[in-house]
Amino acid sequence: MDPQIIEIPHADWHSVPANDAWIRALEAGKVLYFPNLAFDLTTTEKRFLTPEIRDPKIRNISLDATGHLKGAVATLTDQAQLAAMIQRFRANARTLIDGLLPRYGDALRMAPTSFRPTRVETRSQSWRADDRRLHVDAFPSRPNYGERILRVFANVNPEGAPREWRVGEPFETVAMHFLPRAKPYSAWRARLLQMARVTKSLRSEYDHLMLQLHDAMKLDVDYQQDAEQLAVPFQAGSVWVCFSDQTSHAVMAGQYMMEQTLHLPVERQYDPASSPLAILTRLVGHPLI
């Protein structure tokens, strides 16, 4: 297997250039790793590095485009400071992506920015939500019709603990492994799910297959162990970027991370043929959206 991780030495959010090899690697599903690029917290902000800051009923603390903060338990003054910290990460992540991938430009749609203070090792969850199992990201309630999920992550752990990921095999290999056992798409079932408001819009065949891959990967204990994979400790004070709908990934350990999701229409990629939509369409042999 080709190296799945590409290391980039740049240490400044504003000076990462649009390098063809990096762009190709990212769009091929590899992870761009910036070991020297840190999201620095001020001394005042460091007090937000506690799991108590999160409302236990909510998975992650998040800040949306309008500046609305969700999921934090703190005084109003602290909430404002926390929002400013998350906003600063949001701006940095956008600057990085604009420098690295100028063609995406105004086609990018920014999702809320998240701050994840929970310790991964001890988090208990259902198999479907368990990101300690290799998977590709797919949203059960929000069909995206092939739109890309680009993510920027920063490990802000103050004690130097790495964010330990496993990175699996290329998307096409995953798809060839699991497509033969995917349940067939049913249009009437998709309509029922929409009517019951399980999904926010009609689940396309693409969205169905992505969920099938996500679930089948997580449920297959042997695959989790035996699939070709690499353990990657993303160091404290580092950043990494990947298309999480394409990169097979799992998080095994770590605490305190910032995350920005950016959505991108497939046709704005440098190479739309490398997208999961194009790969699945080719493998299945008919249009999926």
Give the shortest CB-38-to-ligand SIN separation in angstroms: 17
By CB under 5 A, tell whether 137 contacts Fe ion.
Answer: yes
Amino acid code (one letter) for 21:
A
- Nearer Cβ to ligand SIN, position 252 or 284? 252
By CB under 5 A, tell whether 130 contacts Fe ion.
Answer: no
Give the shortest CB-184-to-ligand SIN separation in angstroms: 27
Give the shortest CB-157-to-ligand SIN separation in angstroms: 11
Counting residues that bind Fe ion (by CB under 5 A) gives 1
CA distance 148 to 209: 15
CA atoms within 13 A on the CB side of 105: 6
Give the shortest CB-118-to-ligand SIN separation in angstroms: 9
Structure tokens at 241: 């970027």
Interaction site with ligand SIN (CB under 6 A): 131, 137, 163, 244, 249, 251, 257
| Contact partner, 251, from Fe ion, ligand SIN, none, Cβ < 5-8 Å per class | ligand SIN
Contact region with Fe ion (CB under 5 A), list: 21-29, 134-142, 203-211, 261-269 = 134-142
- Nearer Cβ to ligand SIN, position 190 or 216? 216
For 230-287, the DSSP string reads EEEEE-TTEEEEEETTTS-EEEEE---EEEEEEEE-GGGSS-GGGSHHHHHHHHH-S-
Structure tokens at 54: 């999160």
| Contact partner, 45, from ligand SIN, Fe ion, none, Cβ < 5-8 Å per class | none
- Nearer Cβ to Fe ion, position 78 or 137? 137
For 77-142, the DSSP string reads HHHHHHHHHHHHHHHHHHHHHHHH-TTTGGG-EEEEEEEE-S-STT----TTT-TTS-B----SSS
